[in-house]
């Protein structure tokens, strides 16, 4: 039988690490500040290490403190997940999903529509955030499923592919005529509308620029794919968008594609989930359904 004498102390340790302050942790836990200090000291003595650096305006985790914090957080998340599963087991369980707003709109929505019709008792929560944060939340165990571009390194994640998305540059016919240059010179003359630098799609495009020695001179940055499309449609400039998202505009002729001698490589997207966590059975149910109106890729 293992010795679990420190279990009761981890809640207080975790609160201090989160609050970065003994006094704030004491207030949060409704216990006295001396009680918190004594508990942390006993935990450090039991583990024969220093967990916090004491500073004039709070505390900061040491290297060993950070290791303990990371594992305590994981343990608390597992316990929380288990409690949620037990509370919801008598119904349909739960499923927590994260995706960027654009992937949610164009790819996740058909899955949600079909899943909720098949499993109406399942509790679903959706977090709209960047793809990179969605993957981070999945790694931390705060969500069950992330919809995102396939990472270069999967780490602890399992990957379920959906397909590929194709990036192209588009603008209005009028803006194209206004530039009055060949397609390769557009990056020098035109206003190029791109997602911000932290976006996964922008990083993919930056790699394309580097490979082809392209240096856009006039860049306008936005943080949503829908804004890229709308700005292109009103003739502000040339936007780099996902081709599947502007099919109707291309067919109608309100937008035209700028044909490049070297096309941008496609990007694979899919669902990611943590293979080391206890499997939420709703993950497999969700990934294996066949949406009625999934956007063709």
CA 276 to CA 109: how far, in whole Å?
A: 27
The answer to whether the CB of 99 falls within 8 A of the CB of 108 is: yes
pLDDT at position 156, please?
75
**Does the pLDDT of residue 152 top 60, yes or no?**
yes
pLDDT at position 292, please?
66
Q: What is the DSSP letter of 159?
A: E
Distance of CA 183 to the CA centre of its chain: 34
CA 262 to CA 264: how far, in whole Å?
A: 7
Q: What is the radius of gyration, based on Cα positions, of the chain?
A: 25
pLDDT at position 256, please?
92
Q: Give the per-residue SS3 of 172-240.
A: CHHHHHHHCCCHHHHHHHCEEEEECCCCHHHHHHHHHHHHHCCCCCEEEEECCHHHHHHHHHCCCCEEE
The answer to whether the CB of 169 falls within 8 A of the CB of 258 is: yes
**Does the pLDDT of residue 1 top 50, yes or no?**
no
Beta-carbon neighbour count of residue 265 at 10 Å? 12
Q: Return the structure tokens found at 12.
A: 């207080």
Tens digit of each residue's pLDDT (9 = 90 or more) over 255-283: 999 888 888 888 888 898 887 666 678 88
CA 143 to CA 137: how far, in whole Å?
A: 6
Q: What is the DSSP letter of 92?
A: T
Of 292 and 180, the structure prediction assigns the larger pLDDT to 180
Q: State how beta strands 267-274 and 145-149 pair.
A: antiparallel
Tens digit of each residue's pLDDT (9 = 90 or more) over 154-198: 777 788 888 888 899 999 999 998 888 887 788 888 888 888 877
Q: What is the DSSP letter of 154?
A: -
Which residue's entry shows tokens 């290490």?
Answer: 49
Of 115 and 295, the structure prediction assigns the larger pLDDT to 115
CA 106 to CA 291: how far, in whole Å?
A: 12
Nearest CA to 259 out of 184, 205, 189 is that of 184
CA 109 to CA 117: how far, in whole Å?
A: 12
| pLDDT (average), residues 237-261 | 90
Tens digit of each residue's pLDDT (9 = 90 or more) over 63-92: 999 999 999 999 888 887 777 666 655 556
């Amino acid at each position: 039988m293992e010795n679990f004498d420190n279990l009761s102390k981890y809640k207080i340790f975790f609160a201090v690490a989160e609050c970065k302050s003994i006094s704030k942790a004491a207030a949060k836990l409704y216990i006295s500040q001396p009680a918190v200090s004594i508990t942390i000291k006993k935990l450090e003595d039991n583990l024969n290490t220093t967990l916090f650096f004491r500073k004039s305006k709070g505390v900061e985790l040491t290297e060993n403190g950070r290791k303990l914090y990371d594992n305590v957080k994981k343990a608390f998340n597992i316990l929380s997940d288990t409690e949620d599963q037990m509370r919801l087991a008598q119904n349909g369980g739960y499923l927590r999903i994260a995706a960027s707003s654009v992937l949610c709109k164009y790819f996740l929505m058909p899955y949600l529509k079909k899943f909720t019709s098949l499993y109406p008792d399942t509790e679903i929560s959706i977090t709209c955030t960047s793809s990179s944060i969605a993957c981070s939340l999945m790694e931390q165990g705060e969500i069950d499923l992330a919809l995102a571009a396939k990472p270069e390194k999967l780490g602890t994640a399992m990957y379920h592919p959906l397909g590929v998305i194709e990036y192209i540059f588009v603008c209005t016919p009028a803006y194209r005529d206004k530039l009055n240059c060949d397609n390769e010179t557009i990056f020098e003359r035109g206003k190029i509308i791109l997602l911000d630098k932290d976006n996964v799609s922008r990083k993919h495009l930056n790699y394309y620029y580097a490979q082809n020695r392209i240096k856009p001179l006039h860049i306008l940055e936005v943080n949503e794919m829908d804004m890229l499309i709308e700005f292109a449609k009103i003739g502000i400039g040339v936007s780099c968008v996902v081709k599947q998202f502007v099919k109707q505009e291309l067919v109608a002729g309100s937008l035209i594609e700028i044909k490049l001698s070297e096309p941008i490589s496609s990007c694979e997207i899919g669902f990611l989930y943590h293979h080391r966590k206890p499997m939420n059975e709703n993950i497999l149910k969700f990934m294996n359904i066949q949406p009625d109106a999934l956007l063709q890729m």
